[in-house]
Amino acid sequence: MTKVGVLFFLLLLSLTSEGNVMTSNANGKRTWCVARPSSDQATLLANINYACSQVDCRILQRGCPCFTPDSLINHASIAMNLYFQARGRNHWNCDFRGSGLIVITDPSYGNCIYA
Check residue 58 and give its pLDDT: 97
The answer, yes or no, to whether residue 108 has pLDDT greater than 70, is yes
Check residue 21 and give its pLDDT: 36
DSSP for 58-98, written as a single string: GGGSTTSTTS-S--HHHHHHHHHHHHHHHTTS-GGGG-GGG
Residue 30 buriedness (CB in 10 A; 0-12 / 13-18 / 19+) = middle
Mean pLDDT, the chain, rounded, equals: 83
Q: Which of 3-12, 38-47, 49-58, 93-102 has the lowest mean pLDDT?
A: 3-12
The answer, yes or no, to whether residue 16 has pLDDT greater than 90, is no
Asked if 66 and 112 count as a contact pair (C-beta separation under 8 A), the reply is: yes
The answer, yes or no, to whether residue 70 has pLDDT greater than 80, is yes
d(CA 63, CA 74): 15
The answer, yes or no, to whether residue 2 has pLDDT greater than 90, is no
For range 52-75, the mean pLDDT: 97
Check residue 107 and give its pLDDT: 97
Check residue 115 and give its pLDDT: 82
* Cα 33 → chain centroid: 4
Among 47, 110, 111, residue whose Cα is nearest residue 81: 47
